Chain A
Amino acid sequence: MAAGMSRGFNVLLDAVVRIDVREIAFEAGARRYTASLGSGVIVSNDGRVLTNAHVVSPRAVEINLTLANLERVGARLVGWDHWTDLAVLQLDMDEVKRRGWKLVQAEFGDSESLHPGQVVYAVGTPHGLTRTVTRGIVSNPSRYFEDNRGVNGYETGTFNTWLQTDAAINPGNSGGPLVTEDGQVVGITSRGYLGANNLGFAIPAAIARSVLERLGDDGRIVRSYIGIVPGALQDLENFYALEVRTGMLITSVDSGSPAAKAGLRGGDIVLSINGAKVDGRFPEQLPPIQNMIATQLVGATLTFSVKRGGEIRDFSVETEKLESRVGEEWAFEKWGLSVRKVSRAYARENQLDDTTGVVVIGVQPGFPAEVAGISRGDIIAKINQQTIDSLDVIKAAHAAYEAKPAPTLFETQRNRRVSLYIVKP
């Protein structure tokens, strides 16, 4: 407290960690390792650490945390949720105990009661400068934006709003806490506008706490999906003959999704869901509605009361499990080929018939796949006439090729055009 900071703030400083990560990357047609760093905050005495999903992902092969005492300790990923850009790590507690360290845990504050102009601090490791504190204010406590590829290509921002701050946020701050003057964590610092001055964003603590609670045994959060893209109704109420602050516009419906199957379509106005009135006048109001749908049990039936033209009708929509567009990735080094499984969302987005196949995300020049003519963006549907309905199929084909290299027939699709290639040693 010597310099005037609160006791709570000093405790918080002890709970902030630096995170060094080594990750595997598949894009180049081979396995490559990359190193990156970020920040995190210890949120429980048993060694749980909160950070960003884009700092530590399931591709991490080595995670090292630097504690406030400047000592380094290993950790593993126990929870990952790119939709809210949050990840949870578990410190190696055996190591912590063996070396007699005492962990300090940060306290959460109330992110809902923040007001614009309120002073906040960001603590983290910007550009590798460990334990950097920057100061700013809350610029906007409820900023809305979605980013379809925001977390290393994964979707984010659909289910939450963000805290906006002018505290200096730089690469490496990611995953560190945004705190009040008394050291309470009100957000997890996550992003900044590149090329702009002091436009930083953090995930509100309320979201972070709920994610911590809801993570399942497999470290994931199960959400429901119905496949609507909502839009704000502002200025359109007159046209739709609606009271102000009533209803949410459906801008678009994903083809083949539960909403599409139920008969919903773009231009429909949702008046209520399961009897609860919906108000989607402003963009900021959309994430809570999306979140409300997402938190339904998978397979639950939701009743949408919808205004279409002059009539009001009910639609029953059965939710399915939410999945990312980004499927599992793998590299086949003998072929010089990196692929990603076609996911249900990817198939819908690209109007594919089903989830058959893998998308080529990289080829290595001069290797058999590239020489044969296969290129990034092709979808490999069959190998030697066998349909690729899982990564295992192509893994087996590659293993056979590794054991005994022989000309192999690939069937690919690109913009609905089917091509055949021979990949050979």
Chain B
Amino acid sequence: MIHSFSGRRPHSRGGPRRFARRGLLLTFTALTWTSLPAANTADLPALWAERVKSVVAVEYMTVTEVERQPSVSMGTVIDGNGTIILPSGAVDPRTALWELKDFKVYLPGDAASTPGEYLGQDAFTGWHFVRASEKIRGQLTPISAFAPKTPPRAPALADFVWGIGLRNKDEDFAPYILQSNLALVQSLPQRTGIAQQEVAAPGLPVFNRDGVLVGLAQASFGQSFLQISRANRGSGVILINVEESSAFILAEEMLPHFGRIPKQPSGRPLAWLGTYGLQPMDREVARFLNLSAQSAVVVSEVLEGSPAEKAGLKDRDIILQLDGRPLPQFKPDRVIVSHVEREIDRHAPGDTLALTVLRGTERIELKAVLGEQPKVMREAERKFFDRLGFTAREFVYGDGIERRVKPTEPTGIIVHHVKSSSPVAIAGLRQEDWVKEIDGVEIKTFKDAVVKLDEIERDQARPEFVLLVSRGGDTAVLRVKLR
């Protein structure tokens, strides 16, 4: 996600400009006078009323050990089965799948909800998929109904675009219209339109004057402002509008992927190459390395036991080509990293990915057979120990990487959550601590830990127990008083 986009937008108001725009509009009308009925293009409220049926609000609960946290996201209906896509930011990636509960789908302007089913996240598009209940499917219109019938012309600068926003829950998600003009089209790496003002709520569709789908609004970019007050003489702040966005991926980046509905909520199978810290290369460096008109990424580390390692990729190799195609240049340079990650996500485990890398001065061709991604944090087993006051989480591959130990040999457990003022909290245990021993006994697996902790939790007579934890490379012995 690009947060710091601060493209200056042309001013849309002001006297002289208004005349200029009228001039443009007149020309446009004159040219299209005969080809389109004027009433159609002007009847935005009618187009809007039809297209509001393609959008919904989705609410769900994140149920953790100690709280129920509601979240709301806006979604677009993609097919006749009531399938809804939500933007990637709709669900916190650290949240375990079983903590996601009570999905509800709201029609715009309607206080009543119907249950929805969470289908999972697609790695390539980042979309979360939710299915609306049959009851309301009849009231929904898939967005594909408004897709261009013939290949559309590329969106042009200053094209009129509009979209839908939804008010908050206390206003029954009342729909409203947003309008703007296209200011810029960028590859980030998806073809992304940037409008002059907010044009839709993130996750909702964007249309042209004729009501034809042109894109899907993304999370909005941050905008730089100066904050000036009596005490503060102009410090920079970045503001992000979370309710409305001016950025949208173009329809061509959206329509081909409606079939990517996850087969299971985990989103698996997930293709995995096994590199850590892909870093972009700026143009100066590319020129220095005689790479003309292309980009590259530096592989900081090749992960142990990964397909990348098996293919012979080495730390600090520079990836030049994927599947025979030189990596394209993007602005800003760092977009190339998302591009490479998407190219991997596009594949399935078992697929072969051809890599051309630069190692020193040598060009090397490698073939990696992509594997299945090891268990990720949100899939890790967890258990909450109420009396002790913390949630133990299974040690997964990513924990090994983060802690610089062999990720293929998991050991101990990770502290996922600490209840405040609980015995372990008082003893100094913190979230993300790595528990290696309980009462002097080395913990090899999550199961071992659960057995041991269950025993301690049940034993009402026990005055204390001791944890050996590792934090940032240092270990500490924590004594937990239970009485």
Contacts and interface: CB of A to CB of B under 8 A. Distances in A.
Interface of A: 229, 231, 235-236, 239-240, 249, 251-253, 255, 265-267, 308-309, 349, 351, 372-373, 385, 407, 409, 411, 413, 415-422, 424
B468 A266 contact: yes
A420 B298 contact: yes
B300 A417 contact: yes
Interface of B: 276-277, 279, 281-282, 284-285, 287-288, 298-301, 315-316, 360, 404, 436-437, 439-441, 464, 466, 468, 470, 473-477, 479
Nearest to A410: B285
A325 to B, nearest CB: 13
A417 B277 contact: yes
A418 B476 contact: no
Contact of B473 (A236, A255, A411): A255
B288 A252 contact: no
A372 B473 CA distance: 32
Given A266-B474, A266-B475, A409-B285, 15 more contacts: A231-B476, A239-B440, A239-B466, A251-B474, A253-B475, A267-B468, A267-B475, A267-B477, A309-B440, A373-B282, A416-B277, A416-B300, A418-B279, A419-B298, A422-B282
A409 B360 CA distance: 12
16 contacts: A251-B474, A265-B475, A266-B436, A266-B468, A266-B470, A267-B475, A351-B404, A407-B284, A409-B285, A416-B277, A417-B277, A417-B300, A418-B316, A419-B298, A420-B285, A424-B284
Nearest to B475: A266
A255 to B, nearest CB: 6
B448 to A, nearest CB: 15
Nearest to A382: B316
B466 A236 contact: yes
A421 B279 CA distance: 11
Instruction: Classify the secondary structure of B's interface with A.
Output: strand
Nearest to A231: B477
A227 to B, nearest CB: 12
Contacts of B437: 267
B479 A267 contact: no
Contacts of B284: 372, 407, 421-422, 424
A409 B288 contact: yes
A249 B473 CA distance: 17
Given A229-B474, A416-B276, A309 B479 contact: no
Most A CB contacts (10 A, CB to CB) among B277, B360, B439 go to: B277
A420 B360 CA distance: 13
Contacts of A229: 474
B436 to A, nearest CB: 8
Contact of B479 (A235, A265, A385): A235
Contacts of A249: 477
Given A417-B279, A422-B285, A266 B301 contact: no
Q: Which 10 residue pairs across A and B have the least CB separation, nearest first?
A: A266-B475, A422-B284, A417-B277, A418-B300, A252-B474, A267-B468, A252-B475, A420-B285, A417-B300, A309-B440
A239 B464 contact: yes
Nearest to A407: B288
A236 B477 contact: yes
A397 to B, nearest CB: 15
A265 B476 CA distance: 10
B479 A236 contact: yes
A421 B475 contact: no
A421 B287 CA distance: 11
B476 A239 contact: no
A12 B71 CA distance: 73
A416 B316 CA distance: 11
Nearest to B403: A351
A155 B282 CA distance: 39
Contacts of B315: 418
A411 B289 CA distance: 13
B277 A418 contact: yes
Contacts of B298: 418-420
A10 to B, nearest CB: 50
Contacts of B470: 266
Nearest to B401: A416
B360 to A, nearest CB: 7
A409 B358 CA distance: 15
A415 B476 CA distance: 23
A185 B63 CA distance: 66
Interface centre among A240, A267, A416 (most CB of B within 10 A): A267
Given A249-B477, A351-B404, A422-B284, A267 B276 contact: no
Contacts of A409: 285, 288
A232 B475 CA distance: 14
Nearest to A308: B440
A127 to B, nearest CB: 31
Contacts of A236: 466, 477, 479
A345 to B, nearest CB: 12
Contacts of A240: 440
B358 to A, nearest CB: 11
Contact of B441 (A265, A309, A351): A309
Given A266-B470, A266-B475, A267-B468, A421 B285 contact: yes
A88 to B, nearest CB: 34
A351 B404 CA distance: 8
A252 B476 contact: yes
Contacts of B301: 416, 418
Contacts of A267: 437, 440, 468, 475, 477
A119 to B, nearest CB: 40
B128 to A, nearest CB: 28
A114 to B, nearest CB: 33
Contacts of A385: 360
Contacts of A309: 440-441
B409 to A, nearest CB: 16
A252 B474 CA distance: 5
For A231, A236, A255, A416, the residue with the greatest tally of chain B CB atoms inside 10 Å of its CB is: A416
B282 A421 contact: yes
Contacts of B479: 235-236, 239
A373 B437 CA distance: 43
Contacts of B439: 239
